[in-house]
Copies of this chain bind each other. A is one copy, B any other.
């Protein structure tokens, strides 16, 4: 008996959504294009949400099955590649994908067993930098610069549409990275925390006024690096060895 093939479809993660209507509309848009894995962090009006259920109509199943989390970190802990959707230019250095390229990438990674997530920000404000640093890459919809704002459900619709479209594209060539044991987000988080703690003890984040920006930059840097689980162990080992060296005096 062979293993069942892993589900290649990405999870769409609604971060701190405000209006139940938008959550329901997002569920419909996902199902329109064959996507079924919804995750929701800290919905403003709690969960389950009546307005979301009413608007989802035929797509209510996605809400029933949705994974509900308190934090963005928790929502992507088991994922190996995370996209953040944002219209604005950010100072954070990340690869920027078009929706088309992003969903082609998601399909390629999904096909080789990776778990991919796409983050969508709250209606009014969009994603915070603290969310975006957790992502490996940004997706930006090419809108009219003079009238750029898309709402949550529209953004979900366009990403779902591109997911569906990516199905018809010629199968990606590359196989060479198949089987690579990429670190999960939880593992990258643990590495980032380990370095941050030790560097803090070592007095790296100085002066104090700059510490938050330095830490943000560093977390963003880690999240951008394509590390395998073995690489992560090497970085942990480096840091542990530096501390042992110090302790030996």
Interfacial residues, chain A to chain B (CB-CB below 8 A): 28-29, 31-34, 58-59, 93, 95-98, 100-102, 104-105, 141-144, 147-150, 154, 157-158, 161, 164-165, 168, 170, 172-177, 180, 195, 198-199, 201-204, 217-218, 221, 224-226, 228, 230-231, 234, 237-239, 241-246, 249
20 contacts between A and B (CB under 8 A): A32-B147, A93-B177, A95-B174, A95-B176, A96-B175, A97-B175, A101-B170, A101-B172, A142-B164, A142-B170, A154-B154, A154-B157, A158-B161, A161-B161, A202-B245, A203-B244, A218-B234, A226-B226, A245-B246, A246-B249
Closest 6 pairs (CB-CB, A-B):
A246-B246, A202-B245, A101-B174, A204-B241, A242-B242, A34-B144
Query: Nearest B residue to A206 by beta-carbon distance?
Result: B241
Interface of A is mostly: helix
Contacts of A102 in B (CB 8 A): 174
Is the CB–CB distance between B32 and A150 below 8 Å?
yes
Is the CB–CB distance between A170 and B238 below 8 Å?
no
A221 smallest CB distance to B (angstroms): 6
